[in-house]
Chain A
Amino acid sequence: MIKSFIYPIKELIKGLLTVLKNGFKEKVTLEYPEKKKVLNNNFRGKIKYDKTKCIKCKICQKVCPAKGTIEINETFKIDYSQCIFCANCVEFCPKGALTITKEYELATNNKNELIFNEGIN
């Protein structure tokens, strides 16, 4: 009888202490624009194009799973509104003209700003 009365009270106090213990742990909040997350080495962000190495083989255009993201005509055109950041193009590039960076802050109000055109040699 007494045990059944004491048990819930014990549990309630245990709950309070657990919550209190949590308070002294490290805060999980990240104040985003001022402090940025430490990124993993495998992080796939914006793609960097080196026009001196490119041989215009169009393999990147073929392996891209999101069709129409990369187009190579007079220019190297990449559309980040469609890109899924799979880095297939980087993997398959025979000359290593494409490299991956950790830049991920690409948000804009204008969709056209997401299309990048770079000249080809």
Chain B
Amino acid sequence: MSIFHLIFVEYLLKLNIPEWLIFMLWQIIYFIFISLLMILAVLFLVLFERKYLAFFTRRKGPNRVGLYGCLQTVADGIKILFKENIMPKNADKFIYFVAPIIVFAPILTVYSLIPFSSDINSYKSDIGILLFMAILSLPIAGVLFAGYSSRNKYSLIGGMRSCIQAISSEIPIFLTLAGIVILTGSMNLSEIVKAQHSFSQWNIFPSILGFIIFFICSLITLNRIPFDFPEAESELVAGYNSEYSGMKFAMFFLGEYALTFIFSAYAATLFLGGYNSPFGFYIADLFDLTLITGEIIRNIEQFFWLILKTFFLILIIMWIRAAYPRFKTEKALELCWYIFIPLAIFNLFVLCIVQYFRGSL
């Protein structure tokens, strides 16, 4: 039970509020926190990506709206809200309407599984790792629905490609995740983070190969460049979302960036020590603080460390985007099936040996 929860319950019980209502309010607070975090992350990421790509291509990026263009995404968002919703005449109307929601809702759900700090974790599931990947296979269905219901060949091919690459990248990802489970002996994400409490115990050190495989496969799952075949502009117009406009398009767009953020946070949680400080101790512990303020400040610091690690990974993802051209579809699938699956199994084998010697020490 987190200290925030205790303070909250104690305060509300004094006001004679029934216990079931307190429980519900606590969940609502988590929901608001997660939604805010996601929206802020997406707003920042879109602007950040544009600025960062501009840095690599010797441009200045958006710099007209707000100070150094800081309000550009807000302006774009307002523009997209007022756009007309155009539906193709022959579209399968119900599926067409539902597809963006199927893409967006699981991504929002998955935010609740990540331990952002030792106390900010809305759902401590015992099968966190599995649940994360299981929920994240739902958006693929949404993408396929979007491609099918648009009644457009480009959309359909885009949706199918997205589906193919998601399936082929998920197998190496699951094999590397099995390696993590072997190392930490738990599927619970907060247990995994607790097991990596010091820098030398981060999972990336025994499982560096697994991290590389996970990282590249997550690029394939996220449809990021160099694996963005579902949205290959030169071949498929805009892929599965080419018939979508206005708010529905915005949902796909938001979903993509939210997924980038949460996948980086997931990778940071599994391999880079999650919310743990890289020094082995928290800066907040150096000062003499009372129990409650100390706890609050330590949580904020843990949150800061996780966000820092997440952004480190996002920086690499965007750097790769700036550098490489697009792969061929079949080459990427070959990469998954012929190279990554054997490598992931080899990685699993290595981790078993590592764990055997760790246990004997």
Which residues 23-69 of A have a CB within 8 angstroms of B? 23, 25-29, 31
Chain B residues in the interface with A (C-beta under 8 A):
54-60, 63, 319-320, 322-324
- A28 touching B55, Cβ below 8 Å: no
Contact B323 A15 (CB under 8 A): yes
The interface residues of chain A lying within 8 Å CB-to-CB of B58 are 22-23, 25-29
A-B contact count (CB 8 A): 32
| Residues in A neighbouring B59, C-beta threshold 8 A | 27-29
CA distance A29 to B57 in the complex (A): 10
Count chain A residues whose beta carbon lies closer than 8 angstroms to a beta carbon of B.
14
Query: Does residue A16 face the partner (Cβ distance < 8 Å to B)?
Result: yes
A-B contact pairs, 21 of them (CB 8 A): A15-B323, A15-B324, A16-B319, A16-B323, A18-B323, A19-B319, A19-B322, A19-B323, A20-B319, A22-B56, A22-B57, A22-B58, A23-B55, A23-B58, A25-B58, A26-B58, A27-B58, A28-B58, A29-B54, A29-B58, A31-B63
A6 at the binding interface (Cβ < 8 Å):
no
Decide yes or no whether A12 CB sits under 8 A from chain B: yes
Q: Which residue of B lies closest to A16 (CB)?
A: B323
Closest 4 CB pairs of A and B: A29-B60, A19-B323, A23-B55, A29-B59
Residues of chain A within 8 A (CB-CB) of B324 are: 12, 15
| A16 lies within 8 A of B60 (CB) | no
A16 and B57 form a contact (CB under 8 A): no
A19 surroundings in chain B (CB, below 8 A)? 56, 319, 322-323
Residues on B with beta carbons closer than 8 Å to the beta carbon of A18: 323
Residues from chain B with Cβ under 8 Å of A31 in the complex: 60, 63
| Interchain CA distance A65-B319 in the complex, whole Å | 52
How far in angstroms is the closest Cβ of chain B from A121? 48
